[in-house]
Amino acid sequence: MTIIVTGGAGFIGSNFIFHMLEKYQDYRIICLDKLTYAGNLSTLKNIMNNRNFRFVKADICDREAVYKLFEEEHPDVVVNFAAESHVDRSIENPEVFLKTNILGTQTLMDACRKYGVVRYHQVSTDEVYGDLPLDRPDLFFTETTPIHTSSPYSASKASADLLVLAYYRTYGLPITISRCSNNYGPYHFPEKLIPLMIANALNDKPLPVYGTGENIRDWLYVEDHCKAIDLIIHKGTVGEVYNIGGHNEMSNIDIVKLICKELGKPESLITYVTDRKGHDMRYAIDPTKIHNELGWLPETKFSEGIKKTIQWYLENTEWWETIISGEYKNYYDKMYHNR
Ligand code: NAD
Ligand code: DAU
């Protein structure tokens, strides 16, 4: 089995590659990644010499490069993680989100049609469903919840999902789609809530909470997401969408307070800042379908997962300090200075 994993130098894609190389020692895994600001080759350094692994630097929008790779490798499966993934950046500059997340998806699927694959899997997000009100804890996203996006990021991901479903219906491309809730764990880029708060707290810097901090996210340890995608590409039904989430809702402010407690830092570091535009209030996944059809259940409780994650950031300071001391400084100043 040969699998092309796009976006494998990013957070979830890299964790997925580690999971697959360890579990399936006869699979060939090719990582195709453009190495944008979010892609990091040092993340993959321990597997660079693995004979079942190959890294290719390319843009998923580059048709020539993508077709060349398909000609060389004849993949059986493509798992598309490559995306612009940060909501705040999409609010500042939507264009690259539309290019990568929509046109890149189209290019990959065209290659799949031209060369033939057993499966094209699109890694999507619960954000395509919009948000839920805080005062209706009985409501959850199911696979039939209408698409109702809020940010340029979620609109681009929803557009890609619609295109994937269109390629299934029109061309019979064997696709599956997964829509997951917020992930956390090792190699999470420090622009996102949990790693940003860990890094800032360790550096005794202010912890910028948007708005009132009451917004709720449904957190899933990244390894559980990877295991769900593994199940879907092997056992999922072609043409289907699967929601992935572990009923682990937490408000942002509770997460930030927990990080302070775990690191022994004072809550006085918490600073309330201007809210995100169009900020979604609550995400909550109903994972009944993937549980009933594929037997998936999350294995890592948040109380354990957050400890493991904090420990990882404590033991891998070089990984994130290199990031936050580079170009990221300009991003941080632009987004947070006088906010
Ligand atoms: P990330 O930003 O950490 O990584 C994205 C990777 O894609 C990077 O390695 C980057 O270099 C690469 N990339 C970007 N543009 C590319 C292009 N044009 N061509 C090739 N490579 C390109 O993202 P992540 O958090 O790991 O998310 C991965 C996927 O999972 C995304 O599709 C995202 O929408 C989805 N998702 C993320 C979460 C989450 O909580 N992080 C939850 C649900 C779904
Ligand atoms: O739900 C899945 C989505 O989760 C993925 O599709 C996205 O790719 C991923 O980035 C994530 O989106 P969010 O916007 O939920 O994640 P983020 O870490 O950016 O923010 C989480 C919450 O924390 C959100 O309510 C905004 C808030 N926040 C974030 C940052 C970076 C703050 O209060 N302060 C911050 O500095």
2-59: pLDDT as tens digits: 999 999 999 999 999 999 999 999 999 999 999 999 999 999 999 999 999 999 999 9
The model's pLDDT over 58-117, given as tens digits with 9 standing for 90+, comes to: 999 999 999 999 999 999 999 999 999 999 999 999 999 999 999 999 999 999 999 999
Which amino acid is located at 173 in the chain?
L
For the chain, what is the mean pLDDT? 98
Model confidence at 265, pLDDT cuts 50, 70, 90, reads very high
3-state secondary structure of 281: coil
Any atom of ligand 1 within 6 Å of the Cβ of 157: yes
Which residue is catalytic, options 33, 84, 126, 249? Answer: 126
Is 153 an active-site residue?
yes
0.95 surpassed by pTM: yes
231 touches ligand 1 (CB under 6 Å): no
Question: Would residue 127 show up in a list of annotated catalytic residues for this protein?
Answer: yes
* pLDDT for res 246: 87
71 an active-site residue?
no
Q: Rounded distance, CA 211 to CA 276, Å?
A: 7
Domains and their CATH numbers in the chain: 2-185+220-248+278-301 (3.40.50.720)
Q: State the pLDDT at residue 329.
A: 95
Q: Could you tell me the pLDDT band of residue 149, with boundaries at 50, 70 and 90?
A: very high
Rounded Cα distance between 156 and 176, Å, is: 18
Q: Which of 129, 153, 283, 313 is catalytic?
A: 153
Give the whole-number percent of the chain exceeding pLDDT 90. Answer: 99
- Which ligand neighbours the alpha carbon of 121 most closely? 1
Rg over alpha carbons for the chain, rounded to the nearest Å, is 19
Longest dimension (CA), the chain: 57
